[in-house]
Amino acid sequence: MQKAIKNKSFWARLKLDVVNNPLLYIMIAPVIGYVALFCYGPMYGIVLAFLNYRIKDGIFGSEWVGFANFERFIRSFNFLKLMENTLAISVLSLIVGFFVPIGFALMLNYVTSRQLKKTVQMVSYAPHFISVVVICGMLQIIFASNGPVNAVIMLLGFDKIDFLAEASMFRPLYVGSGVWQGMGWSSIIYISALSGVDYQIHEAAIIDGATKLQRIRHIDIPSIKSTIIMLLILAIGGLMGVGFDKAYLLQNDLNLETSEVLSTYVYKMGMIKSDYSFSTAVGLFNTVINLILIVSANYISKKLADESLF
């Protein structure tokens, strides 16, 4: 019976399944329709990047310019600056934002008081649920030139720092607030992985006289290695995707030098200057680099560690 079904052609099996389980198809049809329209529909709009698009001409009436928009972007005076800013923020966020949660999970695992462990854990998740607008508002209040942080700095006898207007302070603020917001949440997965480690291994190590640092190094880290690699691939894939929201909200004329990233540039060129074709080209450039990054990260990890996403 099973074999008979398997031998039939795809269309015959599909027909049989639709007749037997019509509900499944009725359920998923609207979702497929939605994804086709709202996720694949815009992909067609990518042709805008190769046109000199004007609203009154429409897509079909606009002039085909090939790669001219990409050339214009790569030759533009701020291309290198944009790439540098985007990469600097994302590499910093990746390094700090990726390893801090691992360290946090490893240390939390050795907290002796259960009560403290639970409290720290619960409190550390909370910032994950705060909106970007509120985070940026809080940064602007707390790091204001006469805000509480500067009050403490001056109390200690140092000169106050204008965190928000200083271009060199944008990256630390961006990355630091990202870590504050994300470390608890990102650590959840490592904490669960660590709690799954067989305690007998630890017992054996304790009896052999291993210190806690040695146990972290020789038991904990090897046992969460595969989790770390998986998440690292994911993180590398998102390398060029510096979020629009936070960069845009923390941006001002004084720190533009370091705060202008690809996503804010795409927004400004597209929505404010209405240069649709150029903005689409810059966005596409960003997406393609991302795609290359994730595919190569996946490939490398498959070769080196035998772990992959797809």
Among 105, 108, 233, 261, binds another protein (CB under 8 A): 108
Site for another protein in 242-261 (CB under 8 A): 244-245, 249
DSSP string, 117-140: HHHHHHHHHGGGGS-HHHHHHHHH
CB of residue 60 vs another protein: minimum separation in angstroms?
13
- Closest C-alpha to 239, from 302, 177, 182, 287: 287
Cα-Cα-Cα-Cα dihedral sign, residues 62, 65, 66, 72? negative
Rule CB under 8 A: say whether 115 interacts with another protein.
Answer: no
Partnered with residue 52 across adjacent β-strands are: 63
Q: Of 77 and 146, which CB lies nearer to another protein in the complex structure?
A: 146
Site for another protein in 124-163 (CB under 8 A): 124-127, 129-134, 136-138, 140-142, 146-148, 150-152, 154
Q: Of 39 and 304, which CB lies nearer to another protein in the complex structure?
A: 39
Q: How far, in Å, CA of 218 to CA of 307, rounded?
A: 21
Q: Pattern of binders to another protein over 166-205, x per CB under 8 A?
A: --------------x---xx--xx-xx------x---x--
- Closest C-alpha to 101, from 117, 124, 131: 124
Site for another protein in 217-236 (CB under 8 A): 227
Rule CB under 8 A: say whether 25 interacts with another protein.
Answer: yes
63 φ, ψ (degrees, to nearest 5): -75, 135
Q: Which stretch binds another protein (CB under 8 A): 39-47, 60-68, 89-97, 165-173?
A: 39-47
Among 1, 3, 7, 10, binds another protein (CB under 8 A): 10
By the 8 A CB rule, do 27 and 37 touch?
no
Site for another protein in 275-304 (CB under 8 A): 276, 279-280, 283-284, 286-287, 290-291, 294
Interior angle at CA 192, CA 190 and CA 194, nearest 5: 70
Rule CB under 8 A: say whether 207 interacts with another protein.
Answer: yes
Among 28, 91, 167, 300, binds another protein (CB under 8 A): 28
Q: Which distant-in-sequence residues (6+ apart) come within 8 Å of 194 by Cβ?
A: 105, 106, 109, 220, 223, 224
